[in-house]
Structure 1
Amino acid sequence: MTVPGHRRADEIGAGSRRRILDAAEELFAERGFDRTSFADVARRSGISRGSIPWHFQNKNGLVMAVAERAVRRIWPAGRYRSAPSLTEVFAETAQPAEDGNSALVFMILVEALDDRGVVHEHYKEFIRRRYEGIEVLLRARRPADADPGGAAERERAAAVALNGALIGIHLQALVDPETVDMDAALIALASMFERNTADVWSG
């Protein structure tokens, strides 16, 4: 049954798809995947429940579409190549928390922990994109006399460690937002690392 005042033809365009995704993102961040139904998304988006499967087939398809869009928006491909410093990149990661995207990313993480889950591969891509991007920034600072093979290994290890710290800071801010100043913590992490980048290639 179509929402009153709407025709089915009005509910199958790009604008309707975007409204469904926006509503699903909000609801997934608020309630989680399991506690969100097509009926909930229909009420929040103003699109009839019967039109949602036309766009996404089923709930798994909707979850995957939300995960894909979140990854593309929060960490667009090539972002690190255009950023001059880790401080700038890390500071940007605080912004998604203000509109609920940080909570959404962690809901996706919970789903991704099950390697049979529908978003497992998409979240793995998200993680890889972040630490590979950090590697790009580290490589630009690599000393000219560093051994390329050893330097690459150290850069990967440092990037994975930094990415883990980023995830941890976001998690703390979600659990205890009154105490954790995420902007300050992220900038402090980047600043500390920027001051000690030589340690990546030493020893």
Structure 2
Amino acid sequence: MSPRGQRRIDEIGEESRRRILDAAEELFADRGFDRTSFVDISERSGISRGSIPWHFKNKDGLVMAVVERAIDRVMVPERYTALPPLADLLDDYAAWVRSGNSALTFMLLTEAMSSTGTVHSRYQEFLARRRDGLELWVRAQRPGGVDPETASTRERGFAVALNGALIGIHLQALIDPDSFDLDEAMRSVATLFEKNLAEVWTTPPES
């Protein structure tokens, strides 16, 4: 097969994957995970049912791909190493929280906590990607002359704490959105964490 022919096949494959993800994202948000079938997604996307497991293996793989794409759409991974102010990153996060599909992460969390199968392991990967992105942002600001081993441990702890704060605010925004100002909450988190960022590298290690 010529390179041009292979390129065309790849383009068709990517287009099919996009249409499947678009349909699944809409249906999962409207109906929920359990009440959405491959048949529903096939009808909505116009892609044959048999193509869905070819792209995503199973329903668990599909829903994780939906969530990961939704996050990457507003929280562009490259921004973590571009040193934007933390407030700018959290603005991106707030935009995703307000999107209609961010509740999918908590729908998956319920299933992940009650199993040790594919969803559980994929959700671990999802959380790890979130932590890794935040850790990259912290590490990009590491001053010179800092012991890398000590710094790495503390940067990871900072990322875990920040990720936990964001998950907590996200959950409150989904359950009780009128009880607080999401933007103000994100500004408060940014201010608090940026104010204490220097302590990641300057606090003496515990003996």
TM-score, structure 2 length as denominator? 0.75
Q: Which runs of 5+ in 1 are unaligned?
A: 1-11
In the alignment, the residues of structure 2 paired with residue 34 and residue 60 of structure 1 have an alpha-carbon distance, to the nearest angstrom, of 17
In the alignment, the residues of structure 1 paired with residue 192 and residue 16 of structure 2 have an alpha-carbon distance, to the nearest angstrom, of 45
Q: Which runs of 5+ in 2 are unaligned?
A: 1-11
Q: What secondary structure is seen at the aligned counterpart in 1 of 2:177?
A: coil
Structure 1 residues 165 and 42, CA, compared in 2 at 3 Å: closer, same or farther? same
Name the counterpart of 1:61.
58
Aligned residue identity for 1:190: A
Name the counterpart of 1:85.
85
Name the counterpart of 1:150.
150
Aligned residue identity for 1:74: I
In the alignment, the residues of structure 2 paired with residue 84 and residue 20 of structure 1 have an alpha-carbon distance, to the nearest angstrom, of 33
Structure 1 residues 150 and 179, CA, compared in 2 at 3 Å: closer, same or farther? same
8 Å Cα contact 2:21/2:65 also seen in 1: no
Identity of aligned residues (%): 49
Please say if 1:19 is aligned against 2:19: yes
**What per-residue deviation string (whole Å, max 9, x for no partner) do you get for residues 139-169 of structure 1?**
2333434333222211111111111111111
Structure 1 residues 116 and 31, CA, compared in 2 at 3 Å: closer, same or farther? farther
The correspondence for 2:49, drawn from 49, 52, 57, is 52
Name the counterpart of 1:139.
139
Equivalenced residues, count? 189
Name the counterpart of 2:124.
124
**What per-residue deviation string (whole Å, max 9, x for no partner) do you get for residues 32-53 of structure 1?**
322323454356x1638xx223
TM-score, structure 1 length as denominator? 0.76
Aligned residue identity for 2:79: R
CA-based RMSD of the aligned residues comes to 2.8
In the alignment, the residues of structure 1 paired with residue 181 and residue 117 of structure 2 have an alpha-carbon distance, to the nearest angstrom, of 32
In the alignment, the residues of structure 1 paired with residue 132 and residue 143 of structure 2 have an alpha-carbon distance, to the nearest angstrom, of 19
Name the counterpart of 2:176.
176
In the alignment, the residues of structure 1 paired with residue 173 and residue 120 of structure 2 have an alpha-carbon distance, to the nearest angstrom, of 23
Name the counterpart of 1:162.
162
Name the counterpart of 1:6.
none
In the alignment, the residues of structure 2 paired with residue 126 and residue 104 of structure 1 have an alpha-carbon distance, to the nearest angstrom, of 12
Equivalence map 1:184-199=2 (5 Å): 184-199=184-199
